[in-house]
């Protein structure tokens, strides 16, 4: 990856001079916020009604400083995700509900008509092909050439519904799952998983576990029953020595709640109030488990985790996007106690004891902290880690899929405009939560998986939708596709295919970096 880093910096010569230049004097205070550029606009100021919150007058002078990146962002405002912060701005506009519904209906009807027309065209082409005489077997020269791919052709691995994940989720209004009672974990396991689980349990019982063996076992996916323990060991939260694990768990959980007692009361102080205010805004807008984050008990858990992390990491502070990275850990550690599928079921987590919720909270904090320790340059000043990865992705696609790369270049689509969010949120906004958890099984099995292997997963992810991208013939169409990819139906099969392709790319380039240094 060192060569990849040098390559990434060299590929940035195509960018405008000073594109990433920042005012070096504008150094943030410890624990302060730096908004995510690109993937989400910094939301407009709205007052958060919180008991005990001190009132503070707006400081308009803070908005006078602008950098080159913000100017670029404003010039391409239609290229960014409208999923969160733009909706907050739109909420301030006075629009009648009738106008909103009619506009949405027009968009959906137009898309439906285009889809139906494409399907009819494909059916007509198939009917014509079936009626055509078969080519002569003894005269290959006169045989007709194979038909070219029609615009309506959809690769078999693509879901044929809707304009994209984000559009489909937003259509018709959000409907939370029905409330179900909590079902506690039992020892009953599916027969197909029993053998693999036995291998994990035997490995966990070894006096000094071999991390290499655990990584090999985890790469192809971890059974739900043993995933919490495997993640804690792979992340570095638990030691490999079996006799020290319980002692470490008790000490680290106590240490976390010591931080709560020491720092959490400072959230209303002037130095930290903006950090906490931003956390309060972001948590209810987390889309992966919208119904879960409406529960006050869950919101408070995430508020404490994110605030304590920001206070303890003043080099970066809290950045939009970090809030998403807590969710997989929280859901996996919750699955240690309940059988409910949190992704599709709505249940009241206050039915769990306070002690159980405290354990889940502390473990989620420490594992998220371990993850972010490996990718913290994604969130420090000017976010150099993301800059490097976006440039590396651009160069990688240029090598492995020249037609799509050239198409993006011709239409003026910058990789930053769609892949920033992929790097910042580790693809969590692009795929369902169940797929994120499966993806993280492999990331944690890879050495520096979140920092290094993620690049190859993003390249394989983009290449998978190459044909769809080539069928879009304008800037807006390409951006709408790449920001709302149809992955809502994805499960383990699609993730296994994606990871296999990413592994091939890693084998070709990371293990033989000179391939990327060759001029095209």
Q: pLDDT > 90: what percent of the chain?
A: 52
Rounded Cα distance, 81 and 421, in Å: 9
- Residue 382 — very low, low, confident or very high, per pLDDT cuts 50/70/90? confident
Stretch 140-150: mean pLDDT? 41
> Could you tell me if 48 and 280 are in contact, meaning their C-beta atoms sit under 8 angstroms apart?
yes
Cβ count near 181 (within 10 Å):
10
Gyration radius from the chain CA atoms:
25
470 close to 403: Cβ distance less than 8 angstroms: yes
pLDDT of residue 112: 66
State residue 183's pLDDT score.
72
Entry field: residues in the chain:
520
Architecture of domain 378-519: Orthogonal Bundle (1.10)
- The pLDDT of 248-260, averaged and rounded, is 97
Instruction: Map 132-194 to HEC letters.
Output: CCCCCCCCHHHCCCCCCCCCCCCCCCCCCCCCCHHHHHHCCCCCCCCECCCCECCCCCCHHHH
SS3 347: coil
Identify the sign of the CA torsion 351, 356, 362, 364: negative
Span 442-452, average pLDDT: 95
Nearest in space to 35 (alpha carbons), one of 420, 427, 311? 420
- The pLDDT score that the predictor gives to residue 177 is 65
Phi/psi at 184 (5° precision): -80, 150
Instruction: Reply yes or no on whether the pLDDT at 174 is more than 70.
Output: no
Domain ranges of the chain: 242-374, 378-519
How large is the average pLDDT for residues 37-47? 39
Question: Alpha-carbon distance 520 to 233, whole Å?
Answer: 42
| pLDDT at 107 (0 to 100) | 60
More confident residue, 292 or 469: 469
Ranking 155-169, 217-231, 425-439 by mean pLDDT, the lowest is: 155-169
What would the pLDDT profile of 298-316 be if each residue is shown by its tens digit?
A: 999 999 999 999 999 998 8
Distances (CA, A) of 412 to 110, 281, 405, 479, 520: 26, 33, 11, 10, 20
Could you give the percent of the chain with pLDDT greater than 70? 62
Average pLDDT of span 48-59: 48
Task: Quote the pLDDT of residue 345.
Answer: 73
Tell me how far apart the alpha carbons of residues 452 and 224 are, in angstroms, rounded to a whole number.
Answer: 25
- At residue 346, the 3 state secondary structure works out as strand
Looking at the predicted structure, is the pLDDT value of residue 263 above 70?
yes
User: What's the rounded Cα separation, in Å, for the pair 383 and 379?
Assistant: 5
**Separation CA 384–CA 387 (nearest Å):** 5
Q: What is the mean pLDDT of the segment spanning 207-227? A: 95
Least confidently predicted of 14-18, 66-70, 220-224: 14-18
Q: What is the pLDDT of residue 513?
A: 57
User: Could you tell me if 372 and 379 are in contact, meaning their C-beta atoms sit under 8 angstroms apart?
Assistant: yes
Tell whether the torsion through CA atoms of 471, 477, 483 and 487 is positive or negative: negative
pLDDT of residue 147: 40
Determine which of 145-149, 218-222, 320-324 has the lowest per-residue pLDDT on average.
145-149
Q: How many angstroms from the chain centroid is the CA of residue 486?
A: 14
Amino acid 129: pLDDT = 60
Tell which residue, 488, 363, 510, 499, has the closest CA to residue 434: 488
Residue 202: what pLDDT?
95
* 205 vs 59, more confident: 205
Mean pLDDT of the 432-456 span? 95
Q: Is the pLDDT of residue 173 over 70?
A: no
Q: What is the pLDDT of residue 292?
A: 78
* Nearest alpha-carbon partner for 203 in 191, 194, 192, 215: 215
Per-residue model confidence (pLDDT) at position 60: 45
Q: Which residue has the tokens 């006799």?
A: 243
∠ at Cα 6 (37, 510), nearest 5°? 100
Alpha helices in 296-353 (DSSP H): 296-312, 322-334
Least confident of 193-202, 227-236, 355-364: 193-202
- Helices (H), ranges, 64-96: 68-75, 85-91
Confidence of residue 191 (pLDDT cuts 50, 70, 90): low
Q: What mean pLDDT do residues 411-422 have?
A: 95
Asked if 364 contacts 330 with a C-beta cutoff of 8 angstroms, the reply is yes
Query: What pLDDT, on the 0 to 100 scale, is given for residue 54?
Result: 52
DSSP SS3 for 414: coil
Please report the pLDDT score of residue 178 as a whole number. Answer: 67
Over the stretch 218-247, which tens digit does the pLDDT of each residue have? 999 999 999 999 999 999 999 999 999 999
* Residue 39: pLDDT band with limits 50, 70, 90: very low
Residue 190's pLDDT is what?
Answer: 59
Mean pLDDT of the chain: 76
Instruction: List Cα–Cα distances, 441 to 246, 358, 486, in angstroms.
Output: 23, 24, 22
- According to the model, what pLDDT value does residue 162 have? 38
Query: How far out from the chain centre does Cα 268 lie?
Result: 30
């Amino acid at each position: 990856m060192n060569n990849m880093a040098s390559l990434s910096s060299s590929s940035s010569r195509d960018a405008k001079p000073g594109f990433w230049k920042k005012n070096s004097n504008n150094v943030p205070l410890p624990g302060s916020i730096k908004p995510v550029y690109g993937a989400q606009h910094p939301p407009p100021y709205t007052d958060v009604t919180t008991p005990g919150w001190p009132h503070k007058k707006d400081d308009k002078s803070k908005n006078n400083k602008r950098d080159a990146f913000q100017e670029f962002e404003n010039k391409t405002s239609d290229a960014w995700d409208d999923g969160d912060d733009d909706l907050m701005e739109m909420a301030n506009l006075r629009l009648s509900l009738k106008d909103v519904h009619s506009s949405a209906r027009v968009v959906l009807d137009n898309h439906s008509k285009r889809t139906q027309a494409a399907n009819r065209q494909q059916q007509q082409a198939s009917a014509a092909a079936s009626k055509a005489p078969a080519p002569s077997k003894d005269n290959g020269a006169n045989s007709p050439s194979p038909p070219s791919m029609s615009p309506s052709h959809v690769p078999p691995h693509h879901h044929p519904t809707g304009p994209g994940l984000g559009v489909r989720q937003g259509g018709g209004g959000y409907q939370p799952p029905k409330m179900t009672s909590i079902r506690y974990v039992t020892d009953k396991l599916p027969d197909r998983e029993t053998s693999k689980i036995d291998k994990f349990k035997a490995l966990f019982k070894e006096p000094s576990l071999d991390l290499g063996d655990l990584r090999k076992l985890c790469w192809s996916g971890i059974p739900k029953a043993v995933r919490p323990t495997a993640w804690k060991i792979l992340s570095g939260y638990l030691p490999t020595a079996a006799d020290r694990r319980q002692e470490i768990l008790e000490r680290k959980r106590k240490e976390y709640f010591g931080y709560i007692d020491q720092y959490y009361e400072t959230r209303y102080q002037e130095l930290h109030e903006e950090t906490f205010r931003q956390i309060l805004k972001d948590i209810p807008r987390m889309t992966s488990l919208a119904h879960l984050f409406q529960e006050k008990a869950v919101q408070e858990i995430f508020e404490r985790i994110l605030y304590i992390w920001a206070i303890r990491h003043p080099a970066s502070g809290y950045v939009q996007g970090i809030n998403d990275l807590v969710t997989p850990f929280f859901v996996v550690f919750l699955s240690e106690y309940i059988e409910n599928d949190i992704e599709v079921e709505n249940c009241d987590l206050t039915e769990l004891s306070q002690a159980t919720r405290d354990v889940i909270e502390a473990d989620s904090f420490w594992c998220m902290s371990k993850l972010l320790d490996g990718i913290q340059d994604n969130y420090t000043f000017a976010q150099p880690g993301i800059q490097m990865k976006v440039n590396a992705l651009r160069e990688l696609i240029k090598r492995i899929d020249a037609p799509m790369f050239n198409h993006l270049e011709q239409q003026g689509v910058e990789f930053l405009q769609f892949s920033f969010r992929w790097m910042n949120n580790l693809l969590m906004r692009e795929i369902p939560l169940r797929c994120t958890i499966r993806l993280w099984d492999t990331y944690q099995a890879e050495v520096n998986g979140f920092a290094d292997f993620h690049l190859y997963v993003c390249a394989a992810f983009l290449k998978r939708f190459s044909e769809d991208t080539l069928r879009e013939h304008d800037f807006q169409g390409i951006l709408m596709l790449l920001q709302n990819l149809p992955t809502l139906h994805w499960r383990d099969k699609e993730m296994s295919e994606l990871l296999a392709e990413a592994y091939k790319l890693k084998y070709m380039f990371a293990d033989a970096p000179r391939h990327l240094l060759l001029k095209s």
